[in-house]
Structure 1
Amino acid sequence: MSGQTMVGQKQAPKRPIWFNGGLSGAIAALIIIMLLPTPEGLPVAGQRMLAIFVFAVIIWISEALDYAISAIVIGALIAVTLGLSPDVANPDAMLGTRKGLSATMAGFSSSGLALVAAALLLSAAMRITGLDRRIAIFVLSKVGTKTSHVVIGSIVVATLLAFLVPSATARAAAVIPIMVGIISTFGAGKESRFSGLLILTTVQAVSIWNVGIKTAAAQNMVAVGFLQRAFGLDITWLEWFVAAAPFSILMSVGLYFIMMYMMPPEYETIPGGKESIEKALKEIGPMSGREKRLLCVSLLLVFCWATEGVLHAFDSPTLTVIAVALLFLPGIGVMKWKEANASYPWGTIVLFGVGISLGTALLSTGAAQWLAEFVVVQFGLGGLGPFVIFAILGLFLIIVHLGFASATALASAMIPIVIAVLGQVETAGMNVFGMTILLQFVVSFGFILPVNSPQGMVAHGTGTFEVRDFVRTGIALTVMAYLLSLLFAATYWDWIGMI
């Protein structure tokens, strides 16, 4: 996602030099795949969509282009190549560029896009009013001055904000500067183990709750958008929470013990900690009217999300759009358009829309199904049980994530393929819809490298830890997340019918 705020002076880790040829490699792959003989059973349009898919994956992994720019380029390629391809339903006629452009814009009609767009405006309101900062400081004022308690407080803050701030980047940008301020006022020093412990715990807690809450991250909406188009089904906020929150809760507990064991702080109690927090509370002042109104709207929105399909028939995107509309109304509202627009991550919206369009075109042209058949044969997935299939595909997604700097891009590239693969596997009784959601949980396992997520890059900018600290603790978290997901797949998720 774009628009993240970097804290401190330390530069982000650079990509290896071989990534510099990403654009040339992507163009070469695009041309080669298009010129290859069309395989049996694959429409010409499908072959060309596979070429664009490979182009997109190389661009996204290499970061040869900004994500927003890459989305525009991919959209143009879809419009032109599909427009000049035979119609899948009527191979004797060309599809036409008008329909090709319609395919490019298909993702922008997704209700998931409306949810992401509105949620980012809600995040902007939190930042503009300072409510997110107030919540963080308030929680930290209640946990005491023991270093272990401050670490627990950072996890609690990340958890609470996941309900109210529907953007991992925005949550990290809100919380991490507060943690840096705490480190400074405590006099711990950026080089101390406590500093690295606090920042790493905070950013990993942010990532963990991307799994637990449907509205916490854009990549979840990508998956939901594909599921709506593929199956005509949706998953409510509460259904997602019931399935995923227990996992995130256990991960949060495991995060605390892993971080305290691998990066033990130098001291048990922080000298002057209570005084510094009290000073921060005084500096932030009493709650403003704008903050009170925003808090009321946010809590009401969370309540409506949680009761979707139970107390009312409004879906999550519609509820979020209504809430954001209230935030702009005179008298009730908390911000003006110029304030929100100043730092609104429009690139995320473009990437989201084109990503949905790319996946939809892969499915509609038969490209995803053809590739799925190939994957099923090569991996020997045919006839395997749902648990084994989940284990294999989950591990595959974890490995692939190492090359992506955005879980939104990863979901855009992989979830359509996952849907097609699961549809090809001949396993009686498997819930393809539920299994796709579980594999979307795994898409959020970006714990190993700072460059695997925008929030990781925000944390790295503080200069409080070395990349090797992120990697070694991230590997431990990833192993725990994978094993815990297997345990859940064999028990809880199977019991609630997700497998």
Structure 2
Amino acid sequence: MNKLLKIAIMFAIPLAMWFITPPEGLSVGAWRLLGFYLMAIVGLVVKPWPAPIILLLSIAGSAIFLNATKNVLSGYASTTVWLVFSAFSLSVAFVKTGLGRRIAYLLIKSLGHTTLRLGYVTALLDLIISPVTPSNTARCGGIVFPIMNSVAKALGSEPGESAKKAGSYLMVNTYMVTKVTSLMFATAMAPNLLAADYMNKILGVDINWGLWALALVVPGLVMLLITPALVYYLDKPSIQHIDSHAIADEGLKELGPMSGREKSLIAIFILALVGWALPSILTQGFGIKFSLDATAVAIVAMVAALVTGVIKWEDMLESKGAWNTLIWFGGIIGMSSALSKVKFFEWLADFMGTHFNFGDNPMLALIIIGAISIAVRYLFASGSAYVVAMLPVFLTVGKVAGVNPMALSLLLAATNSYGGALTHYGGAAAPIVFGAGYNTVKSWWIIGGIFAIMCFIVNLTVGYAWWEILGIL
């Protein structure tokens, strides 16, 4: 599809809906605002321009034609947007200081004596840095992938005939691991907090950083324990034992002694995690009411990184991911907030309540919605686009079917992430890893499909049981 056709499709949506009579129960203003919202969704999928431009275009159209400037710009005042943006600063710091690479080589030296154990090193590394890297593309593609790629080459595994020595396994495992860690923390993937915002608007469920981590860390850890072994079984490398000390020593020698900036980053990183997790730990675990705003913690962490010289403001200016996310993320939250104010989501729930029937079986509805939410990810190359386009629909269907709102929210929070493992384009990091040339499309899709099924089963069994133990259902 060429660019002009993509643009024409985008503009045709609000234009057509401007002249079409809205369905019963929905106001003309809400219907026309929906047109601009759908224009943004389609734009994020077909991508004639970068995401920020698409959202700014939708904002501009709804602002000038519907006189909704204040409402559609409200997203930029959202604490969710600033939590993500601030967390990006720590992500930048892990790359700029070299701390991410240092942790990786230390783990390789201590634990990576076999190829399978190296798969678990990958999982542990990704897990350690995931809470403060809302760009899983930067985490996987910028930190973990380059190291695993260099390890594969050091083992004599190159794309082509020698790919099966180690590279094929290490590459696909790197991506699958990221799909697990991305669901474990609200700040491990940018769309997570956008999903939480929809859950609050549609279901009235308030999932803060601590509750998200507390609820998903147990099923996530089970998935993370299974993943390297599962991928190893499905794509077994011919090299089983490696000289991890030689590989790690060479990498650490290149990095040199640990700098003061790295030490400062470790302290900031730990304090940020404590600040995010403490309120939920005290509330859920000990019944002690304690409030500490997650966004405030993130902003303090960002400022601390800047004033202590861990990173420079120029480093933040160079972080395209942070600024791109700020613009499109704030834009889509503003558009969805405006729709919420004109009661669109209430109308959608009423509409679906008269057209969907799961036979008064909420658990069956939960399973079916979860399975469909995974399958739909075949159509999306972006977790963000999926959340914008499909999550409100799934949440609404589950709401009218009587599914427990917390169970529905937590399940769909996870399926977006591991659903992206189905294809070699299911997330922005996938083309980076697949592009190394070690894996075939067939093997990737088979491994991704089996991996997604495993995660879904763990979600519905271990996850659901854990949520009942926590008493949040």
Deviations 1:336-395 (A, max 9, x none): 1112211232111111111112222222223223333333443324x6333222222222
Which of 401, 415, 421 pairs up with 1:442? 415
Q: CA deviation at 1:29?
A: 3.2
Q: Which residue of 2 aligns with 1:157?
A: 125
Conservation of the 8 A alpha-carbon contact between 1:46 and 1:367: yes
Deviations 1:106-125 (A, max 9, x none): 11111111100101111111
- The whole-number CA distance in structure 2 between the counterparts of 1:109 and 1:315 is 15
- The whole-number CA distance in structure 1 between the counterparts of 2:371 and 2:231 is 23
Q: Which residue of 2 aligns with 1:289?
A: 260
Deviations 1:179-206 (A, max 9, x none): 1111122222233122021011111111
Instruction: Write the letter of the residue equivalent to 2:299.
Output: V
Q: CA deviation at 1:418?
A: 4.2
Is 1:115 the counterpart of 2:115 in the alignment?
no
Instruction: Write the letter of the residue equivalent to 2:143.
Output: A
Q: Which residue of 2 aligns with 1:267?
A: 239
Q: CA deviation at 1:451?
A: 1.9
Q: Which residue of 2 aligns with 1:298?
A: 269
- The whole-number CA distance in structure 2 between the counterparts of 1:20 and 1:139 is 49
Pairing of 1:364-379 with structure 2 (within 5 A)? 364-379=341-356
Q: CA deviation at 1:171?
A: 0.8
Deviations 1:79-128 (A, max 9, x none): 234x2xxxxxxxxxxxxx2xx01111111111111100101111111111
Q: CA deviation at 1:298?
A: 0.5
Tell me, which stretches of 5 or more residues in structure 2 are unaligned?
Answer: 283-287
Tell me which moved more, 225-234 or 118-127.
225-234
Q: Name the TM-score, length of structure 2 as normaliser.
A: 0.90
Q: CA deviation at 1:18?
A: 8.3
- The whole-number CA distance in structure 1 between the counterparts of 2:434 and 2:41 is 25
Tell me: CA distance 1:484–1:378, structure 2 relative to 1, closer, same or farther (3 Å): farther
- The whole-number CA distance in structure 2 between the counterparts of 1:398 and 1:19 is 29
Is 1:184 the counterpart of 2:184 in the alignment?
no
- The whole-number CA distance in structure 2 between the counterparts of 1:489 and 1:164 is 23
Q: CA deviation at 1:405?
A: 2.3
Tell me which moved more, 450-459 or 414-423.
414-423
Q: Which residue of 2 aligns with 1:93?
A: none
More helix by share: 2
Tell me: CA distance 1:18–1:494, structure 2 relative to 1, closer, same or farther (3 Å): farther
- The whole-number CA distance in structure 2 between the counterparts of 1:150 and 1:436 is 33
- The whole-number CA distance in structure 1 between the counterparts of 2:46 and 2:208 is 35
Tell me: CA distance 1:393–1:363, structure 2 relative to 1, closer, same or farther (3 Å): farther
- The whole-number CA distance in structure 1 between the counterparts of 2:378 and 2:168 is 22
- The whole-number CA distance in structure 2 between the counterparts of 1:388 and 1:457 is 35
Is 1:413 the counterpart of 2:382 in the alignment?
no
Conservation of the 8 A alpha-carbon contact between 2:272 and 2:301: yes
Q: Which residue of 2 aligns with 1:29?
A: 13
Tell me: CA distance 1:19–1:489, structure 2 relative to 1, closer, same or farther (3 Å): farther
Tell me which moved more, 137-146 or 317-326.
137-146
Tell me, which stretches of 5 or more residues in structure 1 are unaligned?
Answer: 1-16, 84-96
Q: Which residue of 2 aligns with 1:222?
A: 194
Which of 216, 231, 241 pairs up with 1:244? 216
Aligned residues: 460
Q: Which residue of 1 aligns with 2:285?
A: none
Conservation of the 8 A alpha-carbon contact between 1:411 and 1:443: yes
- The whole-number CA distance in structure 1 between the counterparts of 2:143 and 2:187 is 17
Conservation of the 8 A alpha-carbon contact between 1:158 and 1:206: yes
Q: What is the CA RMSD across the aligned residues, in angstroms? A: 2.4
Q: CA deviation at 1:33?
A: 3.0
Q: Which residue of 2 aligns with 1:399?
A: 375
- The whole-number CA distance in structure 1 between the counterparts of 2:175 and 2:82 is 26
Instruction: Write the letter of the residue equivalent to 1:219.
Output: P
Conservation of the 8 A alpha-carbon contact between 1:200 and 1:459: yes
Instruction: Write the letter of the residue equivalent to 1:265.
Output: P
Instruction: Name the % identity.
Output: 25
Instruction: Write the letter of the residue equivalent to 2:268.
Output: V
Q: CA deviation at 1:131?
A: 0.8
